[in-house]
Structure 1
Amino acid sequence: MISRRNVVLTLSAGAGAAVVSPAAVAATRQTGARNVVLAHGLFADGSSWSEVIGRLQTEGLNVTSVQNPLTRLSEAVASVQQVLARQDGPTVLAGHSFAGMIISEAGVHLNVSALVYVAARAPDAGEDYAALAGRFPAPPASAGIVYDGDQGRLSEAAFLRDFGGDLPPARARVLYAAQQPFQRALLADRTTQAAWRSRPSWYAVSTEDRTINPDLQRFMANRMGATTVELRASHLSLISQPDAVARLILDAARTA
């Protein structure tokens, strides 16, 4: 495994607003990855990265947010690989929530120079994620999943309380209205690759997460030897603390 930093920082909402210096930005543009590909998880779509996208674009990075079909893992991975193939050089691949599985699988692509996990799943190759998660107390959001046949979604109460609990309620309701249903079979799929074993990795732990247990996030981040930050945020840190998440991605682009 590649030697990596294993740094833990605890950031409040105010500290998360810190930005990189102009010199660091210049270094990113000249020597680091200039491409970023973003993947979203369940109960969301590609627009969930919007607040982060604008911040990365301001720093001169080429950013693409992939629309995950939320059908089967292989189809989600294929959609990411298609975008990765279009990149013109080293690329940071970031995933939120369920998309941690997608980037763990697709991250072996030759264009990927670094991985960034944002409150994300990070199973080992072939690992049963449900069994891994079962070693930790179940997060409240898991009880809020409802099914219409084979399509799953999060109830409004669980979405507002357990998914985006630190967002203004009006904003959370808009996101709830736009959530995309997922196929039940998606939850049974397993990765065949663990790209974090061969790529430098970064991880943003959400300490107030009610969708993925924060201690499970810490376990996965520590296991992969990731450069880690802890954000006092809900599961939707990419929306509630976009400065901190963008800074982590910029660090990966500059370093890897």
Structure 2
Amino acid sequence: MKNISKNIIRITMAVGIAFAALFTPSVAHAQQAAPVKNIVLVHGAFVDGSGWKPVYEILVSKGYHVSVVQQPLTSFDADLTAVKRVLDLQNGPCILVGHSYGGGLITEAGNDPHVVGLVYIAAHAPDKGESEADNGKRMPSAYKSLQKPANGFDYIDPAQFPADFAGDLPKKEAEFMANAQMPTADQVFHAIIQNPAWRTKPSWYMVAKADRIINPDLERMYAKRAGSHTVEIEGASHSVFLSHPADVARLIIEAATGSSK
């Protein structure tokens, strides 16, 4: 009887160990798959972070913690520092989103350990050794309204801004953007990317099919090269973040969900 009892104990222990081995990886996986709830939004050239408000409101209403970077557009290094400063405030993993020139910033800043996914909204996504200015020459954009004064801070001719930058927005809103634009240091467009985060982290890309600021074919090239999950928005101007906030928010949520798997 004693031998039988010992055998039962041994069998019971073996079964317990087997169950522990079976379910422990699942528990660990469940911990790793916690949903990403932090979103960091980075604006592009000639605008500021307030343009993200419609996207911000949608994301916040769905329970996300959203931070908006207000980089000064005075130099690439200063702008990158502003992004990193906000990333340092995150209390967990985050999705980093960039529009236009902001794409170059998230390409470098995305190496931060807080960042688990990148979202490009009609944005540049240069590779190592590239600049957005040089890439723009490969596939020229449609607009001709860029002004380059002697002080080194570029701007878009306000009279042509609505058609070139915001062609799918109401006229009054586009005119306000034109006259509230932030002159941007020309040097930021020539910054050379050193360590593109999209090579090691998952990315999502939104192509604005009627973009006059960045050639949509260049956007497609960026997305294909990075292996991004890609969506294209019919009739969308460069201001797609304002004209199609629901689509933008949906892509960001897809990234937040996908990066948690």
* Deviant stretches of 4+, over 6 Å: none
| CA positional deviation for 1:122 | 0.3
Determine which of 248, 252, 258 is the counterpart of 1:249: 252
Distance in 1, matches of 2:215 and 2:137, equals 10
Which SS does the other structure have where 1:117 is aligned? strand
Distance in 1, matches of 2:215 and 2:189, equals 17
Corresponding position of 1:94? 97
Are residues 1:68 and 2:67 paired? no
Would the aligned equivalents of 2:134 and 2:190 in 1 still touch at CA under 8 Å?
Answer: no
Corresponding position of 2:113? 110
Gapped regions of structure 1 (runs ≥ 5): 1-29
Letter in 2 for 1:144: S
TM-score between both structures, scaled by the size of structure 1: 0.85
Would the aligned equivalents of 2:117 and 2:201 in 1 still touch at CA under 8 Å?
Answer: yes
Letter in 1 for 2:148: Y
Which SS does the other structure have where 2:63 is aligned? coil
Corresponding position of 1:203? 205
Determine which of 152, 155, 167 is the counterpart of 1:153: 155
Determine which of 127, 130, 133 is the counterpart of 2:130: 127
Determine which of 29, 41, 46 is the counterpart of 2:44: 41
Distance in 1, matches of 2:35 and 2:160, equals 40
Distance in 2, matches of 1:130 and 1:151, equals 15
Which SS does the other structure have where 1:253 is aligned? helix
Distance in 2, matches of 1:131 and 1:181, equals 20
Distance in 2, matches of 1:52 and 1:122, equals 21
Aligned-residue sequence identity (percent) comes to 41
Are residues 1:144 and 2:145 paired? yes
Distance in 2, matches of 1:129 and 1:42, equals 12
Q: Which region of structure 1 is more displaced relative to structure 2, 69-78 or 104-113?
A: 69-78
Relative contact order higher in (CA < 8 Å, ≥ 6 apart): 1
Letter in 2 for 1:99: G
Would the aligned equivalents of 1:31 and 1:254 in 2 still touch at CA under 8 Å?
Answer: no
| CA positional deviation for 1:164 | 0.3
Letter in 2 for 1:161: A
Distance in 2, matches of 1:205 and 1:215, equals 9
Distance in 1, matches of 2:193 and 2:78, equals 12
Would the aligned equivalents of 1:41 and 1:68 in 2 still touch at CA under 8 Å?
Answer: no
Corresponding position of 2:23? none
Determine which of 197, 213, 216 is the counterpart of 1:214: 216
Instruction: Give the RMSD, CA atoms, in angstroms.
Output: 1.2
Pair member with larger Rg: 2
Gapped regions of structure 2 (runs ≥ 5): 1-32
Would the aligned equivalents of 1:123 and 1:129 in 2 still touch at CA under 8 Å?
Answer: yes
| CA positional deviation for 1:133 | 2.3
